[in-house]
Amino acid sequence: MVSAVETFPLESALPDGGYGTAKAPGDRRVATLVKVTTSDGVHGWGESFGPPRRVAPFLAEFGAALLGQPVAVRENRLLDTLSTGYHHTTGGPHVAALSGLDIALWDAQARTFGVPVGDLLGGRLRESVAAYASSGYVTPGRDLGELRAVLARNAAEGFRAVKIKIGLSPAEDRARTQVAREVFGDTGLVMVDYNTNATAASARRSIERLHDLDPYWVEEPVPPHDHAGYRELRAAATARALPPLAGGEALYTRYGFREPIAGRQLDIVQPDVAKCGGFTEAQAIRAMAAAWNLRLSPHCWGTGVAQAATLQLLSAVPDVPYGAGTGEPLIFEFDRGHNPLREGVLTDPIRPAAGGRAEIPSGPGLGVSVDEAWVRAHRLEEHSVAVRR
């Protein structure tokens, strides 16, 4: 049974004006960690995506409702909350709050059994995965020399794949992608991310100018609600052999992913475990993607807790639509932007492994240890929640 829920809203200002996307600049990194304690004294940790001040009220409500409830009952509780609260929609900070709690419950149960979460998700199939550097952010100066230096550092870390931010203009998008291609060479993978800063028409003009640079995928060219725009771009990609379309980081729960998957608007499905509904909904989304023969590549842009959760999810993803010895690899998004929270929350932070890979933690639960003293020292106390039975 759940005996206590405690939350740790975190925020860190970024130096030198920060960085962001073509859509919006960012001057800080944020996250909210969630700690669940069971009646057996086991602790489980999760993470909720989004601004802590918006997520905190939902965590207070949902955390109190968890007290005295079985750790193992997750799917019914999450779906029932969405069903009875249908006026609040199936996406937003309340689902991010549910996501952190869900991750913490899975972590607590896996620790109770003394196994990694991946064992409960269907069984660990791999000990490591390929990784790409999530990098090339838009900085205030938008300087190509600065971009080249950042990507060179990523390559020096051993990464053989990189994702950069574009969506500025067709000319600037090409120039930024050209830099990435030059740094990572002909054999490296280069992904481009518009962060929805385009219409279908402007995205098509930009994507066509990138064709000879061979992007591995094109991410979020238009907003998630623009289903017609995705269909238009998907048709153009098929007709002109343009790069695959990826998206899903801004979608919530199985309901948000249903139309994009069933309508084959995406080639690569990208749920974020810290906002889509935790492991419970990520598993449902994974199964839907497999049913429509689509690739899965989760979004991950949080602290070490979100990284560990994403890696546990990837550890148990079946090889479909490919066999074990062929096809496109599963690939982990390894954020390389400045974020003191990312490494600060763990006693032993997750680091890039040799050969451009990420090792999947093998310990119980998420497989990592939270530095609770650090987390307590850095939390926003006025937005923290602590409820006990």
- Cβ atoms of residues 63 and 387 within 8 Å: yes
Residues 43, 94, 299, 383: which is the catalytic one? 299
Residue 182 to residues 101, 192, 213, Cα–Cα distance (Å): 43, 14, 10
Closest CA to 215 of 257, 167, 262, 272: 167
- Cβ atoms of residues 384 and 5 within 8 Å: no
Tokens of 54: 């918006």
Quick one: 241 exposed, middle or buried, by C-beta within 10 A (0-12, 13-18, 19+)?
exposed
Interior/surface letters 20-48, b for 16+ CB within 10 angstroms, e for the rest: bbbbeebeebbbbbbbbbbeeebbbbbbb
43 in catalytic set: no
Q: What is the largest CA-CA distance in the chain?
A: 61
Please list, in sequence order, all residues whose beta carbon lies within 8 angstroms of the beta carbon of residue 61, skipping any fewer than 6 positions away.
Answer: none
Quick one: 312 exposed, middle or buried, by C-beta within 10 A (0-12, 13-18, 19+)?
buried
Name the pairing type of β-strands 245-247 and 218-219: parallel
Helix (H, G, I), strand (E, B) or coil at 351: coil
Positions marked catalytic: 299
